[in-house]
Each structure stands twice: as structure tokens, then as C-alpha cells.
Amino acid sequence: MMYFKNLDQIVESLDTDESTKNDPIKRVFVFDGKYLTANVGIVRDSENALHIQMDHDELLVIIEGNVDFKVGNEVKKVSKGDLVFIPQNTLHGPILEEGQRFAALSVFAPYFDRSKNNILWDRDSA
């Protein structure tokens, strides 16, 4: 297991996990532990990226972008260095305008088993 990774290199590589290739948020899974998973989520399009994780709390560290971000009923402008906490089963995601980019380090707890359908996309429920 690699214990050290560089966020800028991860974002630039855009080497996304195959399981997220059709999702609005492309993810690069960087660490898996017994109780948590960390990934870098990257959004390059202005489509609907709102979603829910039914079984996971999530902590975001914004590493790229200056965009509106929704958590539940609250929307706030976020930018590099901001932290966002998302309780499980809460609608959330970046709201991008044309030409905007967004990337964040996400830490999920409990462990994010990629063999399961962990995410409900808002676009799919419409």
C-alpha cells in the first residue's frame, strides 16, 4: 500500500476509477482502510452532480474550484481549502456553471465498498 500521494498529481492525471466512468463525478480512489475510504472527486461538466450516499458520512476538502455547493437545503460558495461535512442520506453536490471545474478530496466512513451501489444520483430520480 502507498502511504503518500500528491493531490495535484491525482487531479491532473484524471485517472478515474472504472466504476465511476459514467457518473457526473469522476473519482480516483486513493486510500482504503478498514473503516474509511478516501477518493478525489473531479467534476468538469455543468451537468447535475447532486447525489446521496445512504450509508456514508463524508468530509470534503475542496482542492480546486470556486463553485456553489449544496448540502441539504443550504447552498454556499466553496473554494480551495474549504471543508464541507455531509451527513449520510443528505442530498449534496457541486453546482457548476458552464466552464467551471471542481475537485475535492472526499473521506467516507464507513469503508466505501465499490462493489455496491453506494450513490443515488438526483438526475436518475427525475
pLDDT tens per residue, range 88-102: 999 999 999 989 999
Q: Could you confirm whether domain 7-125 is CATH 2.40.160.10?
A: no
The grid coordinates of residue 40 equal: 478525489
Report pTM: 0.90
Select from 110, 115, 126 the least CA-distant residue to 53.
110
Q: What is the pLDDT of residues 22-66, one digit of tens each?
A: 889 999 999 999 999 999 999 988 788 999 999 999 999 999 999
Domain spans of the chain, in order of start: 7-125
The grid coordinates of residue 81 equal: 481549502
